[in-house]
Amino acid sequence: MRKYTNNVWVQMILIAVVTAVAGEFKITPFSGDLFRIGLGSSAFLLLLLLARHLSYVYMGVITGVTVLAFRTAIDGTVSYETFSLLASMKTHLSAALYYIIFAIGMKQAHIYLPKLHPLLLACMIAIIDFVSNELELLARSLLFRLPYLFSEQWLLIGTTSVVRSLFVVGLFSSLMISQMRVVHNEQKKRMDQMLHFGSGLYGEVFYLKKSMDAIEQITAKSHDLYGKLNDAGEKALSRSMLDITQQIHEVKKDSQRILSGLLKLFDPESASDMTLEEIIAFVIQSNGGYSKMLNKEIQYETWIGTDYATAHYIPLLTVLNNLVANAVEAIDAKGTIRIRVFEQEDDTVLVVSDTGAGIAEQNKDIIFEPGFTTKFNLEGYAATGIGLSHVRDIVRSYGGKLRLQKPFEETTFVVAFSTHTLKIGV
């Protein structure tokens, strides 16, 4: 016998109580009170479908006993002066048998429930419900010594079973679809967070690698200068230069440890694929929130001239996200950002343009220089975001090109990657 925790027993008892209460809302299609159609059957079926992890047989027995006790208690409360316990139990015993028989039938169909099309599932349940209702009616007839068959019985019971099954299965399917949408939205939200994280982390890793290359060159030059000073007899200066060289070397080792930790978080080899259209959609979604945060009314227009999947979506996200973010910041209060992608000869070209304030004529030749920025906060400090020089370096690391197109009315950046390079690993 399976062992059940207290929580499982509580769930089955709760299902039984809900079914018993729902069963009091009913109609009686035949004369007298021999056969009743209530919401209890529909509620029990829906709860069985929602609680497939529980034992159907146990639930059927518990529900049957609960319904019998509940209806008997109601009889005793309503007509306590003429109440007969045995007569009341005899009246409601067949209803209890219905739930037990129905649960046993559902147990036999349990393995097919997740696999069947909703329409086939409804047909199977309708058959089980029909048989359970017929056996309930037979039990009542035997208990009260009444005729079992009467006109239009099968048609009415069959119609009721089909309608009830279709209604409950439809409701169950709607609940499952809603649940799947919630799960999908949550997964999409987490995926967006991971993409934001991965894009930002890629930029930081690229920064750090570039800085380490610079540190390596500085270390070599300072050590070379130390040697020259030492050879020239400048002992004090050479000793100071050696100390500086050692400190620079320690900075390099610290940077290597940080880089190693970042690379454990960001593994380019584990990247899956994203299409160019998905990348652009994500960039627009991300910067749409950014523009709202800045209280700017910005329209985004896209034109997808080519689309394919690429495993190199992180660097593409990093580049596009920063170009679009720069465009958002360049627009005063209201404007338009246009993103286009198309193939030109052997290259995939991405174009980002905006209707912002534009780039001053004197800055056009230096916007890709390291440290260049036109963005300062209220305290006069320069922005710390990734600059165009690093965007260009990321593009170049993939053999691509980044340029400012001679603008007429809009500031336009053009990025070109080898289509073959982007498709590697697809």
pLDDT digits (tens, 9 = 90+) for 359-387: 777 777 777 776 555 554 444 433 444 56
Q: Label each residue of 306-326 as H, E or C.
A: CCCEECCHHHHHHHHHHHHHH
Residue 241 pLDDT exceeds 80 = no
pLDDT at 201: 65
Mean per-residue pLDDT, 400-416:
83
Q: How far is Cα 169 from Cα 123, in angstroms, rounded to an integer? A: 10
Q: How far is CA 287 from the centre of its chain?
A: 20
**40-60 mean pLDDT:** 89
Note the pLDDT tens digit of each residue in 283-324: 888 888 888 888 899 999 999 999 998 888 888 888 888 899
Amino acid 382: pLDDT: 38
- Choose between 181 and 207: higher pLDDT: 181
396, 283 Cβ separation under 8 angstroms: no
Average pLDDT over residues 139-151: 73
The more confidently predicted of residues 415 and 153 is: 415
Neighbour count for residue 392 (Cβ, 10 Å): 21
Q: How confident is the model at residue 342 (pLDDT cuts 50, 70, 90)?
A: very high
69-78, 117-126, 363-372: which range is least confident on average?
363-372
Per residue, what are the HEC states of 21-64?
Answer: HHCCCEECCCCCCCCCEEHHHHHHHHHHHHCCCCCHHHHHHHHH
Average pLDDT for 351-356: 89
Q: Which of 312, 326, 314, 307 has the alpha carbon at shortest distance from 282?
A: 314
50 vs 176: CA distance, rounded Å: 9
Report percent pLDDT > 70 for the chain.
77
Query: Cα separation of 227 and 225, whole Å?
Result: 5
Nearest to 167 by CA among 134, 125, 228, 227: 125
- Cβ atoms of 62 and 16 within 8 Å: the answer is yes
pLDDT, position 349: 93
* Predicted confidence (pLDDT) per residue in 154-167, tens digit: 777 888 888 888 88
